[in-house]
Structure 1
Amino acid sequence: MDKSLEKVLSRWLKQQKSACGIYLNLTVLFGVLTGLALVAQAYLLATMLHGMIIESQPKTDFINHFYLLIGIIALRALLAYGRERISFKAGCLLRGQIRKAVLDKLTQLGPVFIKGKPAGSWASIVLEQVEDLHDFYAKYLPQMLLAGFIPLTILAVVFPINWAAGIILLATAPLIPLFMILVGMGAADANRKNFTALSRLSGHFMDRLKGMSTIKLFYRGDCEIKAIETASEEFRSRTMAVLRMAFLSSAVLEFFAAVSIAVLAVYFGFSFLDHLDFGHYGAGLTLFTGLFVLILAPEFYQPLRDMGTHYHAKAQAIGAAEALMALLNHPESGCGDNNSCDSNIGGNQGVPFASNQPLSLVLQDVTVRSLDGQVLAGPLSVTLLAGQRMALVGPSGAGKSSLLNMLLGFLPYEGSVLVNGIELNTLDRVSYRRHLAWLGQEPQLFHGTVRDNVAMSNIEMSDASVLALLEKAQVREFVDAQPLGLAHPIGEQSAGVSVGQAQRLCLARALGQEAQLLLLDEPTASLDSHSEQAVLAALDEAMAGASALMVTHRLDSLQQMDKIVVLDKGRIVQQGDYQTLVSQRGLFRELCHEQALSEALS
């Protein structure tokens, strides 16, 4: 990984620590108190052993020392327990805030952006990658501070009694972080590649699960098994590379810590044998000094070793932060680096929008762009009067759905879009969308009951109101036939209902918003003739009290529309009512003839 990018990611990670609140500081405080307790414990042990072994004092003289030692050991245990609990709480708060920020950002960017990646990839970001930030905040960041404080505290008490031991500790201490850095240099890059492989595998696997019936239908099972096996093997090899680095790092740190303690032990051993005579300020080397320093020596290196052990948490967090930071910093306008596009809606700080009448739309030289700045449609100039019903027709790829997504606020545009005379990109996002109802060609129901799905826009809606909406959507008969009625369960991916029933339930949900503008994207696609007629009848009633803009390929159902706009290659090539367009040469009549021929042949 590029060093400049790693610094940027590290800086971004540290900027998020405010989400941990006071818990991060409490974790450090408990670690500091543990370090002070260590010094007191070593002092008591060395004093007791020196007194009983060298000065031959009776054991009864050290009863108070012994009770105090037991108390300090218990205190250390409580501090360690409290530190673990508090650090876990800090990590939980951080993960919760990051996950909320990710979900809020995905909501702002909208479905067009989300469809750019498989569902499994988003699941990997929201779940695994956010989860991998935990140890960085719960363990690594507090340990960085403790790795400086505790060794300095021990040096402060060792140097006054033996400067040679202090120099040995001071000289050998940098070996551990030095080799930790050398071993961990490639860890962040390895973790980043591991996350990429996991995201690719998750997306690939999820897509294949969703398309299992199609795979079986075309006898592609063996090929897909090999593809998943290849992706799994890539992920396994990258995971093992990360584990190798983690084990190598731990082994190196343990080795140099053991060597450093051994050097200190050799110094004291030769000093007690009178082969060395320096470091004790001329007062002579006592058993107390040797025991005190040797007891503290492992604790001197332990914070550095712990930081090395948790260093892989930093590498793991940096690998996860790359995708998270890119997502959270993604511009909502989506026009790339040139920033030439206006954002669709003014965000939560825009002009509040309110209307109890059907909305009017005026588009003047509007160009709709993709999230990476590519032109999808335009320039377009068209007017939808309040209460008018307009249809958008044209071949696939003409820009019809792109225009709807722009009006929903999910795609950027250039030009002018006036909603009741107010520019769209100045409106408050939330208040504007309260006046919209959208119904797409792929009905989206969620795990829950029929009532949960229909009353999503107003959870306090009464059962009678829900049943009235089901009646308008011509799906109440189905709900009444279920033993549980409104409590009839709906599973993931609309499990438990047919496509036609799901579409009509979505229509009931849309009707419940009492919107002033209906945006309909192929609402009768994939429906049988009975379901299609039911949905069209319900839509005809719903459109009576609102403005409506509908994308459809069903040209024979457009006779009730006030205006039809024909798009081709992102441009308006015809517009007028049904009778006008079908009577003149042009794309609309050609599309009508093609549809009639297709139905005749089928």
Structure 2
Amino acid sequence: MDKSLEKVLTRWLKQQKSACGFYLNLTVLFGVFTGLALVLQAYLLATMLHGLIIDDQPIEAFSNQLYLLGAVIVLRALLAYGRERVSFIAGMRLRHQIRQTVLDKMTELGPVFIKGRPAGSWASIVLEQVEDLHDFYAKYLPQMMLAGFIPLMILAVVFPINWAAGIILLATAPLIPLFMILVGMGAADANRKNFSALSRLSGHFMDRLKGLNTIKLFNRADSEVKAIETASEAFRERTMAVLRMAFLSSAVLEFFAAVSIAVLAVYFGFSFLDHLNFGHYGAGLTLFTGLFVLILAPEFYQPLRDMGTHYHAKAQAIGAAEALMALLTYQAPDSDNDLPAIKLPYQGERAPSIVMKDVVVQTAQGVRLLGPLNLCLTHGEHIAVVGPSGAGKTTLLNLLLGFLPYQGSVLVNGIELRELDRVSWRQQLAWLGQEPQLFHGSLRENVAMSDPHMSDETIMALLEKAKVRPFVDSLKLGLSHPIGEQSAGVSVGQAQRICLARALGQKAGLYLLDEPSASLDSHSEKAVLEALTQAMQGASSVMVTHRLDTLKAMDNIVVVEGGKIVQQDSYQQLLAQEGLFAAMCHTQVSSLDEVQS
């Protein structure tokens, strides 16, 4: 990975630590107290052993030290438990906030942006990559601070009693972080490639799972199995590369820590044999000094070894942060750089008027999708948008929903759309698409999404308007009937009418309808259209449809082809003109005649 990119990602990760609250500092504080307790424990052990072995004192003379030693051991255990517990809470708070921020960002960018990547890759970001940030905040950051404090504290108590031991500790300490850095240089890049492979595998697998019936229908199962196998093998290789890095770094750190402690033990061994006579300020080397320093020696290197162990967590977090930072810092392009910092709330009549002047709708990458458009929607007017597939009909709805950038002017009650507060504006909208989207939960929760406190009587009234109440009355659990993933538990027609009831509960001023009856049978289609006609009285609407026989009641029809408006008038006027609309009507009537014959 490029070093400049790694520094940027590390800086971004550290900027997020405020989400951990005071728990991060509390983790460090517990670590500091643990360090003080281990120094006291080493002092008590060395004092007792020196007295028992050298001074030949009875064990009863150290009863107070024994009680104190037991208390220190218990205290260290409690501090270790508290540190683990608090560090977990710190990481949990961070994950919760990052995941919420990611979901909010995805909501802000909208479905057009989200559909640019496979659903599995988004699942990988929201679940896997956010989870992999945990150890960076729960373990690595606190350990980085403790790796500096605890060794310095031990050096501060070792140097006054033996300067040679202090120099050995000071000289060998840099070996561990040095080799940790050398081994870990490729770890971040390996993790980044691993996450990329996981994202591809997740997207590949979920897309094939969603299209399983189509794959079987066209007898493509064997080829897709091979494709999934190839993606899985790539992910396996990346994972093994990461594991090799982790095991290698641990082995190297343990080796150099053992060598450093061995050097210290050799010094004391030769000093006790009178082969070395320096380091003790001329006061003579005592058993207390040797034991005290040797007991502290493993604890001196332990924070550095722990930091090396958790360095893998840093590499893992950097690998995960690349996609997260790219998403959270992404700004949709906008042609107007002088937008007000404070957006205006929606104001005006319930049914808005919309005036478009020379509007060009773009993708997030700045590619033109639709336009230039000049269109006017008056208060309470109903407009239908028709045209061949790919002409840009749904793009117009996404523009009004605020999910696509544009050039030109879109005035909503005289206020520019991009200057409106999105939440306030979307509260005036009701959207109903061709693929009904119900969520895991009860039927009641799905209908009352706009108002969680909606009464059962109101919900039943909405279901009545949507022509689906008889179905709900037939259910054993009624409004508590569970809805599974992908609208499991209800038919497409029932799901569409439940979605309609949800839309009716928003009391919207503008209905945006994207092929609302495309996936319905004739009976369900008639019920949905009747309910919509009643609900949209006093409201405005823009409906995208291929069903040209349902357009007679619309006030205005806009015909779109190749991203431009080619015709615009009433149903009767367009039918009397030569052009795309008349040709489409003729083709559709001919197709119906063939089907009936």
User: Does TM-score exceed 0.5, indicating one fold?
Assistant: yes
> Pick from 368, 373, 385: which aligns with 1:392?
385
Give the match's secondary structure for 1:514.
coil
Q: 1:266 to 1:506 in 2, by over 3 A?
A: same
Q: Which residue number corresponds to residue 294 of structure 1?
A: 294
Q: What displacement does 1:340 show?
A: 3.0
1:410 aligns with 2:403: yes
SS in 1 for 2:436: coil
The count of residues paired between Structure 1 and Structure 2 equals 595
Match of 2:187 in 1: 187
Distance 1:565 1:601 in 2: 27
- Name 1:239's counterpart in structure 2: 239
Report if aligned partners of 1:190, 1:241 keep a CA contact under 8 Å in 2.
Answer: yes
One-letter amino acid of the structure 2 residue matched with residue 370 of structure 1: T
What does residue 158 of structure 1 align with?
158
* 1:508 aligns to 2:509 (yes or no): no
Indicate the residue corresponding to 2:346 in structure 1. Answer: 353
SS in 2 for 1:85: helix
* Partners of 2:179 and 2:253 within 8 A in 1: yes
The residue aligned with 2:394 is 401
Q: Please list the CA deviations of residues 241-277 of structure 1 after superposition, one character each: whole Å capped at 9, or x if unmatched.
A: 1111100000000000000000000011111111111
In 1, Cα distance between equivalents of 2:449 and 2:218: 38
Q: Secondary structure at the match of 1:560?
A: coil
Matched AA of 1:297? A
* Identity between Structure 1 and Structure 2 (%): 76
State the match for 1:578 in structure 2. Answer: 571
In structure 1, C-alpha distance between the alignment counterparts of 2:359 and 2:523, rounded to whole Å: 38
Cα distance in 1 for partners of 2:401, 2:455 equals 28
Tell me the C-alpha RMSD between the 2 structures.
Answer: 1.3
8 Å Cα contact 2:197-2:235 kept in structure 1: yes
Aligned to 1:550: 543
Contact 1:342 1:412 (C-alpha < 8 Å) held by counterparts: no
Contact 1:346 1:427 in 2 (8 A): no
1:526-545 → structure 2 map (5 Å cutoff) = 526-545=519-538
* 1:479–1:485 CA contact under 8 A, matched in 2: yes
Match of 1:204 in 2: 204
Q: Which amino acid aligns with 2:479?
A: L
Offset at residue 356 of structure 1 (A): 4.5
Q: 1: CA distance between counterparts of 2:442 and 2:31?
A: 49
Aligned equivalents of 1:459 and 1:68: distance in 2?
58
CA contact (8 A) 2:335 2:406 kept: no
Contact 1:388 1:547 in 2 (8 A): yes
Counterpart position of 1:136: 136
1:432 maps to a residue whose letter is W
**Pair 1:322-2:322 in alignment:** yes
Q: Give secondary structure in 1 for the equivalent of 2:325.
A: helix
| Structure 2 residue 438 is the aligned partner of structure 1 residue 432 | no
2:442 corresponds to 1:449: yes
User: Distance in 2 between the 1:346 and 1:109 partners?
Assistant: 19
Note if 1:340 corresponds to 2:345.
Answer: no
Matched, 1:375 2:368: yes
How far has the Cα of 1:71 moved from its partner?
1.0
Distance in 2 of aligned mates of 1:57 and 1:352:
84
Task: Give the AA of the match of 1:547.
Answer: S
Which ranges in structure 1 are unaligned for 5 or more consecutive residues? none
Q: Which residue of 2 aligns with 1:274?
A: 274
Question: What secondary structure is seen at the aligned counterpart in 1 of 2:75?
Answer: helix
Q: CA shift at 1:342, angstroms? A: 6.6
Does residue 229 in structure 1 map to residue 229 in structure 2?
yes
The one-character-per-residue Cα deviations of 1:473-515 (angstroms, maximum 9, x if unpaired) are: 1111222222222222221101111111111111111111111
- Do 1:346 and 1:429's aligned partners in 2 also have CA atoms closer than 8 Å? no
TM-score by length of 2: 0.98
> Mean alpha-carbon deviation: is it higher for 384-393 or for 444-453?
444-453
TM-score between both structures, scaled by the size of structure 1? 0.97
Structure 1 distance, partners of 2:392, 2:346, is 27
Letter in 2 for 1:467: M
Partners of 2:179 and 2:60 in 1: CA distance: 47
Match of 1:149 in 2: 149
1:355 Cα shift?
A: 3.9
Query: For residue 430 of structure 1, what is the amino acid of its counterpart?
Result: V
- Matched-pair contact (CA < 8 Å) for 2:350–2:508: no
Q: How far off its partner does 1:206 sit? A: 1.2
Residue in 1 that maps onto 2:452: 459
Q: Which amino acid aligns with 1:190?
A: A
- After TM superposition, give the deviation of residue 346 of structure 1 in Å: 7.4
| Cα displacement (A) at 1:543 | 2.0
Distance in 1 (CA, whole Å) between partners of 2:429 and 2:351 is 10
Inter-partner Cα distance in structure 2 for 1:459 and 1:258: 62
Letter in 2 for 1:421: G
- The answer to which of 216-225 and 22-31 deviates more is 216-225
Extract unaligned runs of 5+ from structure 2.
none
How far has the Cα of 1:537 moved from its partner? Answer: 1.4
- Looking at structure 1, the residues matched to 533 and 337 of structure 2 have their Cα atoms a distance apart, in angstroms, of 34
1:58-137 equivalences under 5 Å are 58-137=58-137
> 3-state DSSP class of the match of 1:280?
coil
Contact 2:347 2:413 in 1 (8 A): no
| 1:51 corresponds to | 51
SS in 1 for 2:274: coil
